Chains A and B, each alone.
Chain A
Amino acid sequence: MNDQPTAAAAGAESIARRLLDLVLRCALGGLLIYAGVQKLRDLEQFFLDVQHFDLTPWNLSMAIAMYLPWLEVIVGVALIARRLYLGALTLNAAMTVVFLGAIGSAWWRGLDITCGCFGHENNQTNFPQHLALNGAMLAATVILAGLHRPNPAQRT
């Protein structure tokens, strides 16, 4: 008889987990797709934005400018569709860590740049704001990875 409230609580927890998973996946995936599409609208400008970080030689900046927007779009779609999911989470975490490093290093060096994160902006990048956004994206990725692990209660 005592099993009924426990089952109801487990059901409510499961629904909450699924809802959180859906919201985070769609938000993160949508943000990645938006960022990728904005960059694809002007790849030449994005290449210049990458160059302004002064971290990569010309050829590598060009390769990053051509590759990164597509990777963001494909990872975003994979997250929303929940296909190749662990790979998408890993790539998203890797990209976010690289962005945090690049933005942090530009801030530390006092560079007058626009990061090109969501397409070209006319004003200088607000570094704390971008670091906070990337930190939030990394946290969301970690939460999604945690939610993906099977619930110990469901294993038995």
Chain B
Amino acid sequence: MSAAAEAGPAPSPSRFPFRRIARETLLLAALSLPFAVWSGYSELKLRPEAPLAPGEVLLKDATAWGEKALWVDARSKARFEHKRIPGALWLNPEDWDPQVTKFLDEWDPEKHVIVYGERNGDTAQTVALRLREELKIPEVWVLHGGYEEWQRQ
């Protein structure tokens, strides 16, 4: 008997290696998993919660104000138009004067003004500062964690 006959039928070279691809894909995906779990654990559990900065308010306290809250979106206009906190007004330093007029139409001294921006941006702080200093509105707060905090909740 020849060596080729002893080895049995040779696999067809044109046969697509589905099983091998599936096995290797799953193995690589599984290899990434422990690292991802470790990353998730260190991000969620080990990273300390950012402290509340002066003038910031937690989302639960801001939502407790209910109708007495006036939400101000300090993000870019495109992001505001795409998604926002219901009832929020857009007020961004890039287009300040026309928007401030609209803001003053909605503002009521009884209301708490809550400005929100991106989680890691300082636009909300800038807008809040201008409202306090230029318009002399005392009850201006910045939402801790920004719009992402609202989305998360």
Contacts and interface: CB of A to CB of B under 8 A. Distances in A.
B25 A90 contact: yes
Contacts, number: 78
B29 A91 contact: yes
A87 interface: yes
A66 interface: yes
B25 A44 contact: no
Interface stretch (A11-19, A22-30, A69-77, A125-133): A69-77
B43 A44 contact: yes
A-side interface mostly: helix
A66 B36 contact: yes
B78 to A, nearest CB: 3
A111 B43 contact: no
A38 interface: no
Contacts of A74: 28, 31-32, 35
B43 A110 contact: no
Contact of B35 (A70, A109, A112): A70
A109 B148 CA distance: 20
Contacts of B37: 66
B120 interface: yes
Interface of B: 13, 17, 20-21, 23-29, 31-33, 35-37, 39-40, 43, 47, 76, 78-79, 82-83, 118-120, 148, 151-152
Interface of A: 40, 43-45, 48, 51-52, 54, 58, 62-63, 66-67, 69-71, 73-75, 78, 84-88, 90-91, 109-112, 150, 155
5 contacts: A71-B29, A74-B31, A86-B24, A112-B79, A112-B82
